Chains A and B, each alone.
Chain A
Amino acid sequence: MAAASDRELKKGNAELLILALLEERARHGYEIGKLIAERSEGVLRFYVASLYPLLYRLERRGWVRGEWEPSAGRRRRYYRLTPTGRKILAEQRSRWRAFSGAVNRIVEVRHA
């Protein structure tokens, strides 16, 4: 049950996580996967099999742009946010803050 709800939570917010990570700078797929696991301290772990289709979908929508760049003697595909992607990120982030704030206000209240 807990695993299922985690999965739903991740699925709903996967786009937000990726867009947020790309806000700082361009990143490749492997790095995105590692960063999500690291920054969430292992709570969120992306299946690689889901990550790449998601990146391709964001790219098709025009929210991110992928480009091949040299990196440590090899070629990697780096993804960066487009202006549309930034706008969507701002909207999604604002919605997330409102939602998580509301949930926190309820969940964190303790009975005196």
Chain B
Amino acid sequence: MPDWKRIVREKLGTLPLGNGRREEVIEELAEQLASAYEEALAEGMDEQEAMRSSMAQFKDWEKLRSQVFQSVEGTRLPVWEQNGTFAPRRVSVWIALALTLLLLAMPSFRQALAILPVSGSDPTAWSSRILSDRALRRMQLSGDKAKYARALAFVALHSPKEDDLRAMHAAEKAIALDPRLTWISAKVSHATYAIPGYDPHPWIERLKAWDPQNGFPYLLEAHANVHREEPPWTQHGATGAGLGRVLAAEPRWRIPMEKAFAASRMDFYSAQQFALDRQVLQEQGFDRPDILIVSMWSQPMPDLVAMNFYVDILLRDVGEKAEKSGRIDDALAAYESVARFGERLESASSYYWLLVPATRYRKDAYEKMSSLTQRQGRKEQSAELESTLTALLETGKKRPLLVSSAVADRSGHIVQLFGLVVTLLSITTVAWLVALSALRWKPNLSPGLNRLASMLSAAPVLLVLSSVALFLGYYPYARSIAEYASFEELQEGFGPFFMGVYGFPDLGAFTDIWLPSMFWPSVWCAAVALAGACVLAWVRSRTRPDQPDAD
């Protein structure tokens, strides 16, 4: 006769029941097995068969253990006593947690995690979130103390609009320490528009003196002289032909524009800013391509509408008028000036939104030149212009655009989705760990807490799985910012993926329309629904005396 009590005791393992109840349960279950065994023998089975038949009554001992405890005590088995797949007694759960921590130690995984908070928000606001205000302030103080010009220049370039004065102070000090950083004046001259009564001209004059061949300071000067977005200029329309004529007659705008178009080079200081941002971010421990790409968006840019106006003036008012009055060389010179400006603009910019008008300026100018030379019988010159025009159009077609490719888009979606899952599961895992620690300290602390800890047991395993998915989704784009040699390379390698992350999901309607008007009504509705559910549950428990608990 088998020792049934021993068998049951072994199979059940620890069963934390008090007052001798555990032994009673063991004895009763052993009695059940013994009775079934005897009956099987009486039916003619041999001992082994009878043993097997008897034991077959209890297939899942772990489930029985948990059900017995719950039936006797009215609460779940203490989480530290559970033996389920995800129970904290299982080593595999802690291995999963350790693997997640191991992943966290990898810079690529940290990059993938860090990229998430920008999603769904307005990208123009990101540049002010590159570094927190506190981090910028700290950087400024340490830059001041160490007389480190590049850190101060970084502060000047990336201070939010609300803090333009800080940007100017930092810029003054940076340039004083290292005059090679005078190019940051371009950014600061823009910044000063936010300060009432402040004059940006000294910054622009300084830049012109430092970089006299560059057309960019003249574009900044034209904008500083005439704010076409403000009165009195707005009475002519912000972009209309009327404003164009008024601007053409305004020497404070026209003269700097002439100089900008006649300048031998155009440089928006992209390369300088890229090198500075990359270096300072690395020094500050922000090895993140997303921050680098966003930091470049704060780069000062010329006024595109103003350039369009001036191109129109040159092509139509100057060029066409000269053609009509027979001054062919003057007309060609005006067209040539536009074409050359387009070339310089194209070579200076990495942004698609500037490359498109640059190409258009050249195309319009070449078309006019070609037509004019043809009419003048200058066949050789006309043919040359035609071939230049064809080459230009071909190049335009082949130019890689900063738009999301399907693959990068999908990767962005995966990273976004799993990033959200990882965030939620991280919170869940932390809650599980807290509950687990409390229950380790005091096992009978709270049945609710025990229930919560039991329910959340799968969180660490799910966390490692979703972390791996996030890591794999991001891995093709995981690179140190030191590996990007230029902004163009960063835009081409990381930009499409980044746009995929940003574009998914499109929460514009939700955040702009629904959330502001419906947030509090929703909270109230949820509160009323919760109160109603509680009352219903209470009424139900009172009208069903045969079911006094929720087993």
Which A residues are within 8 Å of any B CB, using their own CB? 28-30, 33, 47-50, 52-57, 60-61, 68, 74-77, 88, 91-92
Contact of B64 among A29, A53, A75 (CB under 8 A): A53
Which residues of the partner chain B approach A60 to less than 8 Å between Cβ atoms?
A: 71-74
Identify 29 residue pairs between A and B in the complex whose beta-carbon atoms are under 8 Å apart, listed by A's number.
A29-B32, A30-B31, A30-B32, A33-B32, A47-B57, A48-B32, A48-B57, A49-B59, A49-B60, A49-B63, A49-B64, A50-B67, A52-B28, A52-B32, A52-B64, A52-B68, A52-B71, A53-B64, A53-B67, A53-B68, A54-B71, A60-B71, A60-B74, A61-B549, A75-B31, A77-B24, A77-B28, A77-B31, A91-B546
Residue of A nearest to B67 (CB): A53
Whether a CB of chain A sits under 8 angstroms from the CB of B29 is: yes
Given contacts A28-B31, A29-B32, A49-B58, A57 and B64 within 8 Å (CB-CB):
no
Say how far B542's CB is from chain A's closest CB, in angstroms.
Answer: 15
Q: Which residues of B contact A (CB under 8 A)?
A: 24-25, 27-29, 31-32, 35-36, 57-60, 63-64, 67-68, 70-74, 546, 548-549, 551
Interface contact B74-A75, CB-CB below 8 Å: no
CB proximity of A111 to chain B, nearest CB, Å: 38
CB distance from A89 to the nearest CB of B (A): 10
Interface of B, secondary structure class, is: helix
Instruction: For the complex formed, measure the closest distance between the CB of A22 and the CB atoms of chain B, giving whole angstroms.
Output: 16
* A19, B45: Cα distance in complex, Å: 33
Asked whether B68 lies within 8 Å of A74 as measured between CB atoms, the reply is no
> For residue A77, which residue of chain B has the nearest CB?
B28
Instruction: Report Cα–Cα, A55/B64, bound state, in Å.
Output: 13
What's the Cα separation between A56 and B24 when bound, in Å?
Answer: 11
Closest Cβ neighbor of A89 among chain B residues = B546
Tell me whether A56 and B71 are in contact in the complex, defined as CB-CB below 8 angstroms, given that A48-B57, A74-B31 are known contacts. Answer: yes
- A92 to B547 Cα, complex, angstroms: 11
Residues of A within 8 A of B28 (CB): 29, 52, 77
User: What residues of B have a CB within 8 angstroms of the CB of A30 in the complex?
Assistant: 31-32, 35-36
CA distance A10 to B246 in the complex (A): 91
Establish whether residues B31 and A76, one from each chain, have CB atoms under 8 Å apart when the complex forms.
Answer: yes
Give B38 Cβ to nearest chain A Cβ, in Å. 10
Closest to B547 in A: A61
Chain A residues with CB under 8 Å of B36's CB are 30, 48
Q: Is the CB of A56 within 8 A of B59?
A: no
